[in-house]
Amino acid sequence: MKVGAHVSISGSRVSSDEETPPYSDIRNAVHRQLAFGGNCGQVFTTSPQVWAQPEIGEDAAEGFQEATDEKLEGPWVIHSAYLVNLCTPKEDLRRKSKESMQAELDAAERLDIPYVNVHLGAHTGAGVEGGLDNAAGVIDDLDVPEDVTILIESDAGSGTKLGGEFEHLAGIIDRTETDIGICIDTAHTLVAGNDLTTPEAVDETIGRFDDEVGLEYLEYLHLNDSKHDVGTHKDEHAHIGEGYIGEDGMKAIVNHPDLRALPFALETPTEDGRGFAWNIQKVKELREE
């Protein structure tokens, strides 16, 4: 089973005996993933809240690759900055989004990471069709390395944000000339209006995704429970099995024949004395051999 967490690359230590550099370094991600019990996962290469370029030295890149090959199953995925908005009609934001995405794609190639994950963003008045056209334009302007794939993440769907409906995900695939994939976030999918609370509901939702988008495009899952119910469009993650998806829904997801071979990256909270280690272990307990 490929399961891990979205881990920090900072030098702060998970445990007193963890041998990580005392500063931000991509190699820290491997040490931290191991400490949580994961074998794949997700990272930010820089702060997601600002426009910043990844700063990854040659030694750090080589060390990350070597440690990943030796100690993890993989694959990693890079999550793009939160500021990126592919759907925007604003030229300045479009330019910054493109530059940020290109930097992440180049970092992925350097680190031998196969995926860069991004939200479509908000159309802010351009409309659904206009927003999807804008997003496709940005994607097709990028120089995507041969061994890197852009993943469009499903969204909670609040306001003018796109990606909450399967139709939006199909729409961007149809519009772009670039080979892209999809990352489904289970919490986002639930609050966007798709039931995942029972085995029957999971089957139905996955069936609709296959009909509208195509399971062949699904490459990664963000495995998160939700603090809010179906159709609320509120994005707040919960511990695995303790939110509105619940244990029955989560068990159905991680064991579903169309999903179980995919990598799962957790973005669950650290609260109530529990964090990634507890949630990864919970997922492993839900998995059936």
**Token pair of 179, please?**
């080979």
Helix (H) or strand (E) holding 252: helix 246-255
**pLDDT attached to residue 12:** 58
d(CA 69, CA 238): 31
Per-domain boundaries in the chain = 3-286
**pLDDT attached to residue 208:** 98
Q: What is the DSSP string of 193-235?
A: T---SSHHHHHHHHHHHHHHT-GGGEEEEE--EESS-TT----
Q: Are strands 76-79 and 41-43 parallel, antiparallel or unpaired?
A: parallel
DSSP state of 135: H
**pLDDT attached to residue 257:** 98
**pLDDT attached to residue 201:** 98
Give the phi and the psi of residue 174 in degrees, each rounded to 5. Answer: -65, -35
**pLDDT attached to residue 24:** 72
**Token pair of 228, please?**
């809010």
Q: Are strands 264-266 and 218-222 parallel, antiparallel or unpaired?
A: parallel
CATH 3.30.300.10 fits 3-286, yes or no: no
Q: Which of 261, 266, 263, 219 is nearest to 241 (CA)?
A: 266
206 CB-contact burial (10 Å; exposed 0-12 / middle 13-18 / buried 19+) = buried
CA 196 vs. chain centroid, Å, equals 18
The pLDDT profile of the chain, 289 residues, written as one tens digit per residue, is 999 999 999 875 554 445 555 567 899 999 999 999 999 999 999 989 899 989 899 999 999 999 999 999 989 999 999 999 999 999 999 999 999 999 999 999 999 999 999 999 999 999 999 999 999 999 999 999 999 999 999 999 999 999 999 999 999 999 999 999 999 999 999 999 999 999 999 999 999 999 999 999 999 999 999 999 999 999 999 999 999 999 999 999 999 999 999 999 999 999 999 999 999 999 999 999 8
**pLDDT attached to residue 10:** 84
Q: Which of 198, 199, 225 is nearest to 279 (CA)?
A: 225
**pLDDT attached to residue 21:** 58
Q: What is the pTM of this model?
A: 0.94
